Amino acid sequence: MVLSVPCVFNKYGKKIGKNFQRVGIDFRTILIPDGEDQKTERSLFFILKKMAQHGLQRDSTLITLGGGVVGDLGGLAASLYMRGINFIQCPTTLLAQVDAGIGGKTAIDFVGIKNLIGTFYQPKLVLIDPLVLKSLDRRQYRTGLAEIIKYGVIQDEKLFKKIENQTENILRREPKILISLISRSCEIKAKIISEDERENGKRAWLNYGHTLGHALESYFKYKTLTHGEAISYGMLFAAQLSRRMNMCSEEVVQRQSQLLRKIGLFRKLPRFNSEMVFKKMFLDKKSRRGQIQFILTRKIGLVTIQKNIPQSIILSALKQFQIDASGLF
């Protein structure tokens, strides 16, 4: 069973269908409407119902073809149907190729909370074709690049440097450089997760830039900034906070800021109420027992988890960040 959205299936689904027919594999498709707002129990049960109506068995396979929305929904459906059937991810956005498609987290939003219901369910295979990225719109493409920059900051200075040196080729979406960036990103994420699948320790590194990033996305009701743009500001803030805590040099902050700017990830940031954004950071699922947990940079390629940062420092850093960020666009 192939799960997709119409715009992706129309471009790439037919080819998959032809190949299946050629080797005699029997398959069906389920299409759901496009959009972030599809991660609902309604879509989930629609998919499960289709799976049942088409008579999927325990040895059947669900293949998701699309971005993170299709991957998260399909993964959840595959993990629930008959207590779990085979699942293959074919992520078609850069974000899904380097992030959502790897790691086995599945989810729908519930009672207004993002990703509240989900399972850990690993796909049997993640099949990535960088050529499908040609049809992705500019902002979506750059959103994925933000996650790749994040991998550089948390684990791999060489990767970071490669993005600095080859920005033009990357923005031109040259397959050769894309293959190297995507495979390295998957390797980093897979390694971290294989050591800490349930986020008790280093999986939290992957959250670099996401504490403020999620708060900003939610403050602006997911309309103003893409995820990648929000976490770019989040990474800048985390770097500035690391500097304030004397954990890194000013150069570490500048390199991140310059690269994110060069890639075009700093979209105009409307004024926000620092106190409200600060409160939202506390509501983040990942803050534990009333403490905001921050991932801070020591240098490019090395981060640490920091739990006890005084609230006054975070709040004054946030106020300063707002002033600095307004001059970046």
* Options 105, 142, 184, 267, the catalytic residue: 105
What Rg, from alpha-carbon coordinates, does the chain have? 20
Would you count residue 115 as binding ligand NAD (CB under 6 A)? yes
Is 199 designated active site?
yes
Of 1, 2, 3, 8, which lies in the binding site for ligand NAD, with binding defined by CB under 6 A? 8
Q: Which residues pair with 299 in a beta bridge?
A: 302
Is 189 assigned a catalytic role? yes
Say if residues 62 and 78 touch (Cβ distance below 8 Å): yes
3-state SS record for 105-155? ECCEEECCEEEEECCECCCCEECCCHHHHHHCCHHHHHHHHHHHHHHHHHH
Out of 67, 123, 213, 234, which residue is the one contacting ligand NAD (CB under 6 A)?
Answer: 67
* The one among 30, 51, 64, 72 contacting ligand NAD by CB under 6 A: 72
Of 189, 243, 255, 280, the catalytic one is: 189
The binder of ligand NAD chosen from 28, 34, 119, 320 (CB under 6 A): 34
**Among 80, 99, 215, 317, contact with ligand NAD (rule: CB under 6 A):** 99
Of 39, 50, 214, 280, which residue is the catalytic one? 214
DSSP H or E run through 241: helix 227-244
At 11 the three-state DSSP class reads helix
Active site residue 203: yes
Is residue 83 annotated as a catalytic residue, yes or no? Answer: yes
| SS3 (DSSP) at 109 | strand
In DSSP notation, 314-327 reads HHHHHHHHHHHHHT
- Which CB atom, from 222 or from 282, has the smaller least distance to ligand NAD? 222
Instruction: List binders of ligand NAD among 120-139 (CB under 6 A).
Output: 132, 135-136
| Closer residue to ligand NAD (CB): 214 or 243 | 214
Q: List the Cα angle 288/294/297 in 5-degree steps.
A: 155
Residue 150 a catalytic site member = no
Given 184, 227, 243, 280, the catalytic residue: 227
CB of 81 to ligand NAD, least distance (A): 18
d(CA 83, CA 73): 15
Q: Which is nearer to ligand NAD, 71 or 317 (CB)?
A: 71
Q: What is d(CA 302, CA 296) in angstroms, rounded to the nearest whole number? A: 9
198, two tokens: 């349930």
- Which run of H or E residues covers position 90? strand 86-91
Amino acid letter at 52? A
Query: Which residues does the annotation mark as catalytic?
Result: 83, 105, 147, 189, 199, 203, 207, 210, 214, 227
Q: Which residues contact ligand NAD by CB under 6 A?
A: 5, 7-8, 34, 36, 39, 66-70, 72, 92-93, 95-96, 99-100, 103, 105, 115, 132, 135-136, 140
